[in-house]
Amino acid sequence: MSFSEPSQRKRLGQVFLKDGNMIERILRSYELHDQSKVLEVGCGAGALSIPLSERCASLVIVELDPQWLDLMTQRLGHLSHVRLIHSDILDVDLAQLGLHGVQVLGNVPYYLSAKLLQWLQTQIGSVTDAIWMFQKEFADKLLASPGTKSYTSLTVFTQFYFEIELLVKVPKTCFQPVPKVDSSVIRLRPRPVPYARLDEPLFFGMIKTLFWARRKTVASCLAKGPFLSVPKTVLEREDFVGFAGLRGEVLGLDDFIRLYDILKDEGAFLIS
């Protein structure tokens, strides 16, 4: 039986894969097996959903747009191992749904990318990994190294919680309608143990401060930034001297941890 497809909604960032070879390549990158438990973020016309339903033990599809959810209900609703949920993914709590050890997959709307990363961090206890397709420029930020143009506070946030791997580069011509930019499929795997046990609000307040003015030095950002109250004794410490003249954008995670320890020892605190 054939079903007519709804029109794509530009306001929801709906750009769908149409290239069959690329779809198969992306599916292979998921490394699914007959015991895989999958949650797909958004289904669209089912370019990934339908083959996913044939390759995993269970599939939960979360779709915000009712027109595509209705279409997938027609196409997959008869399958006992497929569950369809009408919701914004940002409102979903995997544990409350009884989902544990799931692989989270999908073609992420570009406008949702940063918020979805924050959501994923809150769901770490329920997720084995996430494999998402992002706009290439956004993916480059997640993969960036210190000292590069793409390295931002978002990079630090993501790499603090996840090990990140580039899997597939996807040209814009694989989509319909054709977007202005290429995309990348990346894997985000929660770190098996926390990168460091620390006061996370204070740590990320420090990160926000150090990227507040990219061209300023660490010492200048800490002295003038609007997010932290930093005692002057920090600037006087011998172990701070090596950081003072650097810019935050050249520091790696280990450097940030050492700098955090100094601030914590001296009583720095967030400005509410």
pLDDT at 248 over 70: yes
Tens digit of each residue's pLDDT (9 = 90 or more) over 9-64: 444 445 789 999 999 999 999 999 999 999 999 999 999 999 999 999 999 999 99
- Location of structure tokens 């143990």: 193
pLDDT at res. 11 = 46
Share of the chain above pLDDT 70, in %: 95
Tens digit of each residue's pLDDT (9 = 90 or more) over 131-189: 999 999 999 999 999 999 999 999 999 999 999 999 999 999 999 889 999 999 999 99
pLDDT at res. 192 = 87
Span of 59-68, 190-199, 214-223 with lowest mean pLDDT = 190-199
pLDDT at res. 194 = 80
pLDDT at 203 over 90: yes
Max CA separation in the chain (angstroms)? 74
User: Which of 38, 87, 33 lies closest to 65 in space, CA to CA?
Assistant: 87
pLDDT at 255 over 70: yes
Residue pair 188/168 in contact (Cβ under 8 Å)? The answer is: no
Looking at every residue in the chain, the average pLDDT score rounds to 93
How far apart are alpha carbons 250 and 97 in whole angstroms? 41
How far apart are alpha carbons 180 and 174 in whole angstroms? 12
What confidence category does residue 6 fall into, taking pLDDT thresholds of 50, 70 and 90? low
pLDDT at 249 over 70: yes
Domains, the chain, in order of start with CATH, read 10-190 (3.40.50.150), 200-270 (1.10.8.100)
What confidence category does residue 195 fall into, taking pLDDT thresholds of 50, 70 and 90? confident
Tens digit of each residue's pLDDT (9 = 90 or more) over 112-129: 999 999 999 999 999 999
Contacts of 180 (CB under 8 A, 6+ apart): 172
Q: Average pLDDT of 215-237?
A: 95
